[in-house]
Each structure stands twice: as C-alpha cells, then as structure tokens.
Structure 1
Amino acid sequence: MQKPISITALTSISPLGKTLDEAWKSYQNKHHCIVEKSFGETTALVAEIPQHAKEAISEIKESDPKYKSLDPSVLYAIYASREAVKLADWNASDNFGINIGSSRGATELFETYYDDFLKNGKAQTLSSPTTTLGNISSWVAHDLQTQGPEISHSITCSTALHSMLNGIAWIHAGMCNKFLVGGSEAPLTPFTIAQMQALKVYSKVKLNNDCHSELVEESFPCRALDLIKKQNTMVLGEGASMACLELGIKENALATIKGYGYATEILKHNISISSDAKCFQKSMQMALGDFNPDDIDAIVMHAPGTIKGDLSEYNAIKKVFCNKTPALTTNKWKVGHSFGASGMLSIEMAVLMLKHQAFIKVPFLENQNDPERLQNVLVNAVGFGGNAVSILLSK
C-alpha cells in the first residue's frame, strides 16, 4: 500500500434500512431479514429493502420525470450516493470520481422490456439506454453534477470491492483526490432467481418468520458460514452501498484502508473455485503485505451460504492464518447475497464493528471467537470467475 486512504463516509440502502444507525440497530438482534416473495405462480426466499426505504426510493423516482424510467438498481445507487456525498461534505466542484459497479445491472427493467418485446415484437424507445450497465455511474454523476471521471463495471460478486480497488488506483496515481465507490444491485426478479435455482445453490429451507419477529428461536434460510450444512442455502438480497475515499488519514475518517489484494485462479468449472480457494489465499496475502497476520482481529467473509463456497474460503483462511485464525463472521445469513453490492455491505459491517468496538456474530454458530479488540479487519469478496478481492481496514 503506497499511502493509507480514508473512508470519510459510508452509506447504504439494504434490508437493514437506509442509514448506518438503522443498520447497526438491526445487527444487534439475531433475526434475519429474509421473507418469502411471490413471483407469479412461484415463490422464493429473498431479502428486500424495508418499506420506509422503498418510500425513499419512490420519492426519488417521482422527483424528476427522467427518473421514472430508471431501474431500481440505478435509483438505489442515486439514493446511497446522495447520502454519502452529503456526509463527506463533498460538492460538485470537488470533481470527485465515481465508480459504481453491478453484477446484473437493470434486471427488473430489462426483463420488463424483454417481455414486452416478446408480446409486441417491438422494442420500446428507452429499452437500450436505460438497461446498459454504464447507466448507473452516469446517472449518479448527472444527479450529483460532478465533472470527475465516471466508471461502471461488472466483475460478478466482487464488483463493489473492485470499485474500491479502482478508486484506490486513481487516487494513488494522482489522477483524482477523491473517489465515490460502491455497488448497486436489484436482482429480485423471476429470471434472476430462476438462474440461481438452476445452479442448485438456492435455499430451500422452510421459513418460519422474518427479521421483525419477536420469537427467540427461528430457522435461518441462509446458513452462511455453517460448515456442516448438508444443502446449499444461498438467498438473494438487494441494495446499494457507497463509500467516499480520500487520500491520507483524515480526522473524519470512519476507517482507513491499509492494504488491498486481488487474484484470479484458473477454473475447472464455471461457478466453482478450488477446495482451498487459492484466489483468496493470494488476495489475502497481498492485502496483508508486511502486516503481521496475528494482528488481524476479524474477517468479514464472503460466505455465500453454499457448501463449497463457504468451506473453500474457510480453508483458505486456515492456510493463510495458520498460527492464529481471526474471528470470522458474515452478514449474508441476515441480508442475503446482493451480488455486486455485497462486498461494500461487508465493508459497512466491518466499519460498524470498528466504530462500535463490538463483534457481530452469526447467531446459529456455536463457539464463535469474540475478539478482545477490533483494530484491524479483513473483508473478502469473490464471484463467478474466481476473482477474489481482500481489503484490510484499520480503526
């Protein structure tokens, strides 16, 4: 790492709510945010943003005629970006850069347009410009009126952390002093969920209640980080999360980025990584650099809730941290897997733990380590294609 970079603001809209305070409050209970949703004649388990967050999105959509034709993935990004820039006290004259990625992009809008095309044999006028992947960053840049560079990309489930890598690279290169980075995803659509079900990775666990239940005991449809589960339990979630990056250690920093790593491994199958996740081993070792592995207090794992995905990442951690395994956690049991936005929601979880000096456990796991301190937290993400990213955060 050439120089440390500060995260001076962090915001999200997710199943946890639409502010950091709401997210932290939600993390204090042991209930998940997963519900059963109908898709025509079928149902599936999903993690949606709550009603009051949906109302905030509706307000944006109705505020400008141009926004009415935008996909939820773009609207989520606009909301989270507005809040992040406001908290960081940035303005358009700062000419900050923007890099917001998405794994799937405008899924809802694309499926709607395509259904209409099949029925009528004609494409609607806005079907192309409103479904291109680049429209997320470009619409955010339009909304914030910044003149800095804007980048969009898709690197499956590690997309948001690749956005952070891009922001770090631009800042270190001296091409930009500030960068807004993150991911946005609205994948709760029939075809997207059907794709995950076709891969045999989607949860079939029966749902008893949701995250608002007063019951003490409940089933957990997504068994992320449960290494003895007998079936895959991935559940899709939605949301967006943004971080404001600035060079150096700032007084208003929520956390500082002390290291980063990335790696891609040769795949034997389209969706799998090696049993000991060599890509994660390389990305974590790169992120650590000269850092003593024993000084890492916790790791927020990618842990998608699949048998092979969870176990391979765990095996990689054991290989890298052979002397002392840090405390391990994940948030996908609670908020589902939001594809391209998931990495930044994991960053949010890490920052909240550092801020409040409290470790967020996975409620159904026994004998979890509870670190004595939280000074250094590693965050992992990986996606289809074996593209891993690891980010080292310090208080």
Structure 2
Amino acid sequence: MTNSISPQELIVIRGRGRVSALGQSLAAIGTASPFTTRQLGQYSLPVAALPAVAEEALQELRRSSPSYRQLDRTVLLGLLAARQATAAAGWTSPGETSPTNNQLAVSMGSSRGATGRLEEFHTEFLREGSVPVAASPLTTLGNVASWVAYDAGSTGGANLSHSSTCSSAFQALGNATAWLRAGMATRFLAGGTEAPLTDFTLAQMQAIGIYSPFAAADFPCRPGAGKPSTFVLGEGAAVFALEKVSAASLTKPDHEPVAVLEGVGFGFEAIGSKTGLSADGQHFQLAMRNALGQSGRELVDIDAVVLHSPGTPAGDAAERAALRVVFGDELPLLLSNKWLIGHTLGASAALSLDFALHVLETQHWPTPPFPTDLAPAQSARPLRRILVNAAGFGGNAASAIVSLQ
C-alpha cells in the first residue's frame, strides 16, 4: 500500500463521548438487551432508545438553557456526547468554556438532522397554516454543528455539518482530519448524531421491509445471522476530540497510550437503486483500500473489523464479500455493536468507532446470543489495530482505521 500522508504527523483522539441505548458508558455492555418496544399502528417494533439515566441527562441539558429547550433531540444528543469528549480531552469541564477553545472547529455528521422538530413544525403547519419564525434555522442540517460549537465555547472555529446517509459521521471525521493535516485548525470535535425514533421515520424503515420480527428482549438486531432481515432503528451520538501531533511525541518513554486515527477512506459506486448495493460491495472495497493506503498499513496489520452490517441479509452479505475480495480467505475478526444499540443511521459510524476503541482498550467484547459469524468474546492474541466500516443509501461507503500507540 502507498501512503500519501506524512508518517511524521498523526491524528490523535484526545477524548471521546457517546450516548446510545447503552447509556453514556460501555461498562455493562452485553449484559442484557437494551431494546424496548414502540407501538406503530398495528406493529410493535423493537427500538434502541436511551435508557432512563441517559434520558434524564438529556432532559437536564434541555432544561439548562432557554435556548436549548427549542433544540431538536438530534442536536441535544450531539451536545451531550461532545461535552463528554471535551471533558475527557481535558480541554474544558462539561458545560464550561475556555479561551483555548476559541478556535475549536466542529465537524458533525447526521443522516436526517432535526427529524423530530421538522415533523413537529410540519404537523403544526398542516393544522394551523403557519409555522414559528424559528422553524427554518432549527431544522437546517447546519444547526447540528453550530450548536455543538456554541456549547463548546468556540467563537472563531469552523463548524461543518455533513450528510451522506449512514456514513455521515466518517465524512465528518475525514473532513476534520484533512483540516488538521492542512494546518487549518488545531483542535476538532468530530462525530455523528441521530435521533430518528419518530413515528414517521419508523414507518419509513418498516415500509422498506427490512425491520426485525424479533421481540425487544431477544436482541432483535442480528448482524451476520442471515434471514430474516433484522434491522432495528436506534438513537445516539458519538463525538471525538481530535488533534494533530508529531509521531516523535508518541515515542517518548513517558507518553501514555493514545488512540490514533490512522486513516479515513471513502468509496462510491453508481447503482440503479438508491437503497441497494452491489453484491460484492464495491464501495466497501474502495473505502477499505483507501483507508489502508492512507494509514500505510498492510492487510496483516488489521486484527479486527467492526462491521457496518445492519442485519439485512443483502447488506451483510455484500460487506463480507467485499472483505473477502480485499483480505482473501483469512479474514480479521468480525465485530459489531449494532446488536447492542441498533442502527443509529448518521451516528452509526461514530458509535462503531467508539466501540472499536473500547475493544482496543479492554481487549474484550460480548458474545452475541444468536448464531452469527461475529467473533466470540476474546482473541487468542492482542488486538492492536481495528478497521471500522460504514455505508449508506446511494452507493457510498467509508472506512476508518484506529490503533492505540
């Protein structure tokens, strides 16, 4: 593989935050099904919604400022995760600002943005024939990143919002990485957020015919399990505090292990169906190879892959076919967090990356309680480097490579 990026410069993850059906911590991951049931007309659908403690944290954030009471749930989830990432990086304490964050840049991905507020405003328009003045600014995709920047105390940094369906978070991280390498920013908050558990969005997923028939208590999202389709919608966010450092700084004897974002690659393919993909996952192949090329790593350096794998038979099979084309018959360990948090659309790539870092730090992950090709709970050798995949409607895919150094 060739590497067009200087090996003397590294993008490190100083801190990270997350919120999902598992809450704001991964401490109890896999101990019980976090899924609940949502009634949609005649259907009882499993969903991956926030647990009570995380929900209270979200509502406390909403109540903390008059401005925040009007924000969409997607934005609030992003704020919650970004505060955690900023505090973990040591840049500020949660909810506080610092002069050093004045030039902090923000790059956020979301497939659908302010889903809930948009639907509320549209319902009001149909009923009243008018909408509030704030309807437009509160439902633009750009308001996701701009509110994260505001909450983090940034007064002069860029704030960028991205939407490329379910790979949106990696579009955000890829852009942040490019800005950092170009010297256009010194600090970035980057990630993805999504709050799609509205009746209209659930109805859309049900209409596609991919929703899981399994009960909420039975881990209804089952990547790699084959038929039937077991897609389950979830909500959440994950955000990362990124900086550029010299490679030499990580060779000093006193340096503590740090997460390194080694590469973010993208792949695209022209397809006739905007909801479909090629049987051999050509966009996945391109994305993985581009990420490997950026990182300067070889295939043997990848110990595991956190799959996009949403539990749809065609999507799961295409990704595995792409992996076999790229890696051959000896695949890395296959991992997934969607059986734990559902498919969070534009936040899914970021939450998968957070899961990959958790696996690298703990060298452990839960074993799925259903037949699947996902790896059992422990590897015979240490995992040093993980590739993470994401893909979305329209033939786009993205891959990221992360390690601890």
Taking structure 2 as the reference length, the TM-score comes to 0.89
Distance of 1:366 and 1:96 partners within structure 2: 42
Match in the other structure for 2:244: 247
Distance of 2:99 and 2:339 partners within structure 1: 38
Match in the other structure for 2:284: 280
Matched positions, count: 378
The equivalent position to 1:203 in structure 2, one of 191, 195, 212, is 212
Runs of 4+ displaced beyond 6 Å: none
The equivalent position to 1:24 in structure 2, one of 22, 27, 39, is 27
Match in the other structure for 2:148: 140
Are 1:104 and 2:106 counterparts? no
The equivalent position to 1:155 in structure 2, one of 164, 178, 182, is 164
Distance of 2:80 and 2:340 partners within structure 1: 22
Are 1:232 and 2:229 counterparts? yes
The equivalent position to 2:326 in structure 1, one of 320, 323, 326, is 320
Following TM superposition, by how much is the alpha carbon of 1:39 offset from its aligned partner in structure 2, in angstroms? 4.2
State whether residues 78 and 140 of structure 1, in contact with CA within 8 Å, keep that contact through their aligned partners in structure 2: yes
State whether residues 271 and 395 of structure 2, in contact with CA within 8 Å, keep that contact through their aligned partners in structure 1: yes
Match in the other structure for 2:314: 308
AA paired with 1:162?
A: Q
Are 1:93 and 2:97 counterparts? no
Distance of 1:84 and 1:123 partners within structure 2: 35
Are 1:381 and 2:381 counterparts? no
Following TM superposition, by how much is the alpha carbon of 1:43 offset from its aligned partner in structure 2, in angstroms? 3.3
Distance of 2:367 and 2:396 partners within structure 1: 26
Distance of 2:284 and 2:372 partners within structure 1: 25
Unmatched segments (≥5 aa) in structure 1: 210-218
Are 1:128 and 2:136 counterparts? yes
Distance of 1:187 and 1:199 partners within structure 2: 15
* 1:301-336 deviation digits (Å, cap 9, x = unpaired): 000111111110011001111152100011111100
Distance of 1:10 and 1:252 partners within structure 2: 16
Q: 1:32 to 1:288 in 2, by over 3 A?
A: same
The 3-state SS of whatever aligns with 2:26 is helix
State whether residues 101 and 340 of structure 1, in contact with CA within 8 Å, keep that contact through their aligned partners in structure 2: yes
Following TM superposition, by how much is the alpha carbon of 1:40 offset from its aligned partner in structure 2, in angstroms? 6.0
Following TM superposition, by how much is the alpha carbon of 1:25 offset from its aligned partner in structure 2, in angstroms? 2.2
Are 1:194 and 2:203 counterparts? yes
The 3-state SS of whatever aligns with 1:130 is helix
Paired-residue identity, %: 40
Distance of 2:63 and 2:309 partners within structure 1: 37
Following TM superposition, by how much is the alpha carbon of 1:7 offset from its aligned partner in structure 2, in angstroms? 0.8
Distance of 2:352 and 2:119 partners within structure 1: 28
- Aligned residue runs from structure 1 range 169-188, under 5 A: 169-188=178-197
The 3-state SS of whatever aligns with 2:169 is helix
Match in the other structure for 1:81: 82
Following TM superposition, by how much is the alpha carbon of 1:363 offset from its aligned partner in structure 2, in angstroms? 3.3
The 3-state SS of whatever aligns with 1:128 is helix
Unmatched segments (≥5 aa) in structure 2: 92-97
Distance of 1:267 and 1:366 partners within structure 2: 28
- Aligned residue runs from structure 1 range 287-366, under 5 A: 287-289=291-293, 290-365=296-371
Q: 1:275 to 1:247 in 2, by over 3 A?
A: same
Distance of 2:54 and 2:256 partners within structure 1: 26
Distance of 2:41 and 2:64 partners within structure 1: 30
Q: 1:65 to 1:359 in 2, by over 3 A?
A: closer
